[in-house]
Amino acid sequence: MNTIVGTYECKADSKGRLMLPVALKNQLNSSLQEGFVLKRSVFQQCLELYPMAEWNVMMQKINKLNRFNKKHNDFIRRFTVGVRMVEIDSTGRLLVPKDLAVFASINSSVVLSSAINIIEIWDKDLYEKAVDDSDIDFADLAEEVMGNNDDDNGIS
């Protein structure tokens, strides 16, 4: 698993193409030949860009689900709705298909935000609302999620 680092702003042109910042493109360099998968996020109104290697790991997990179990089948259908294989062209542009751009309300100002091993693609205003959500106390969330870390190395 490659860790992707950073949050970047860019612009989408009238055709839905995003010019990836050089620092982000350099981090994705090893994945450029294999391509990427672009999909709707499960929890947020944004898109998720998976390097193909990361998508394949996710699909190995999904393939273990029982398609004859209705909940599993419904999950698979909803998880994969709108999924597209995409490429970053030689100039560093990513074309966001129209239906996915509509889902994420992507027009002009865009934020590309690392999410460990994938990139979230947000409309800038929606991203700012998501990270500034006053309903979430980040200190409480951090304590709940990471506070009971039993790993010997710990996180501080």
- pLDDT tens, position by position, 78-125: 999 999 999 999 899 999 999 999 999 999 999 999 999 999 999 999
Phi, psi of 17 (to 5 degrees): -90, 140
The whole-number pLDDT of residue 155 equals 54
C-alpha 127, offset from chain centre? 12
Residue 129 and residue 24: Cα distance in Å, rounded? 23
Report the pLDDT averaged over residues 139-147. 79
- Please say if the pLDDT value at position 138 is more than 90: no
DSSP secondary structure letter of residue 43: S
| Percent of residues, the chain, with pLDDT higher than 90 | 76
Residue 108 and residue 122: Cα distance in Å, rounded? 10
Q: How many CB atoms sit inside 10 A of residue 100's CB?
A: 19
Under CATH, domain 7-124 is a member of which superfamily?
A: Transcriptional regulator MraZ domain (3.40.1550.20)
